[in-house]
Amino acid sequence: MAEYIYIDESGDPGNILADGASSKHYAELALQLDGDSLPDFIAHIINWKYVLGKPHETKSLPKGNQCKRYLAPILELHHQGKLKCSCVYLLKDQYTGPYLKPKLPTGHKPIYFRNFIHKELLEHHFAQFPIKPRTGINLIFDDYRIPFEEARKIEDYLQNNWNLPNFRRIVHADSIPNFTLQVTSQLVEAVKNIVLGTINPERKQLLDFIVLKDITSI
């Protein structure tokens, strides 16, 4: 059985204390689908692009009542156990973990920070949704411009983590032609509003299927 896990982030790995333009938060989300459900999921997204008249990439969920209708088939897949979603997040000014703040022993190392969050996300995800034996897991990151050497470092870092299952393939893709990555991006941007406290209660309730973990204090 093949499983596909799509990963995207909200925010940037910049140090907010040194650069006021940096985001106040950082969040990373994993959206998992089995191979049998993926075609129907993509067909749903294509149909909605037609309904909304937005054939190009969209970074946010539909507004108002359209959001509930848009998420309905996604929630149904979740209830059937065919779709799993998790997210880790942090507030930078209170963050106590490594690689973000220059005054900490690890210093500010954006690439190391991003890789560390990948690890935290996947450990959280598989703790919530254990993988069955002999499952082929494909990771798809929304990061197609990453240099080849950095992509290899991420692969080595994750493959050598004993707390994670073996991955069949780790891919860095462009979200523009990848509809599932686009949905992952929409969901993690919605989580940003949860983290910053700017989301309305009804919209937040629709996102209850995302298993959140606050990693501000590690």
* Residues 23-79 pLDDT 10s: 999 999 999 999 999 998 998 888 877 776 666 667 788 888 889 988 998 999 999
Which is it for the CA torsion 101, 107, 112, 117, positive or negative?
Answer: negative
Q: What was the pLDDT predicted at 19?
A: 53
Please report, for the chain, the start and end positions of each structural domain, with discontinuous segments joined by +. Answer: 2-214
8 A C-beta contact, residue 31 and residue 191? no
* Residues 72-94 pLDDT 10s: 989 999 999 999 999 999 999 99
Amino acid (1-letter code) at residue 102: P
pTM over 0.85: yes
Burial of 72 (0-12, 13-18, 19+ CB in 10 A): exposed
Amino acid (1-letter code) at residue 14: G
Tokens of 185: 């991006």
CA distance 188 to 167: 23
**Architecture of the 2-214 domain:** 2-Layer Sandwich (3.30)
Q: What was the pLDDT predicted at 217?
A: 95
Per-residue pLDDT band for 105 (boundaries 50, 70, 90) equals: confident
Tokens of 88: 């880790």
